[in-house]
Structure 1
Amino acid sequence: MAKTKELPQKLRDKIISSHLKGLGYKKISKELNIPRDTIGSIIRKFDTYGTDANLPGSGRKPKTEQSSQVK
């Protein structure tokens, strides 16, 4: 799976404010030149969690090399 880039917080805030003004996914997408699916996922996350901030991932975080060498 390829890594993805995070959108800056200001841009995510702009997407949410446009959505709250009543603009649709397609119009927001064309205005900001961001894929429609990305717009949709940001808005769905906002509707579900009430925030557009990046949430922590699930699962255990990988060990660093330094801590795995110490015994």
Structure 2
Amino acid sequence: MDKELWKEVWDGNLRQFSTPYVSKESVQAYITNGLVPSSAQHTIDLDSVIDMRFLDQAVQRLGWSDVPR
């Protein structure tokens, strides 16, 4: 991959790795773009997938200060 293109791709995707939290929209985009193998053949209830309570507990122990609300 061309060095300049790689930088543009990385800059465009870096934000999603800046927090351990995952949004419903992010998961939907992964599914819509075919990045989750075999997901097209299933109906996925995103409201049941996106439950960040476990993450709230984990990041508290780490002292994470950027908790989205």
**TM-score normalized with structure 2 length:** 0.26
**TM-score normalized with structure 1 length:** 0.26
Structure showing greater radius of gyration is: 1
Larger helix percent: 2
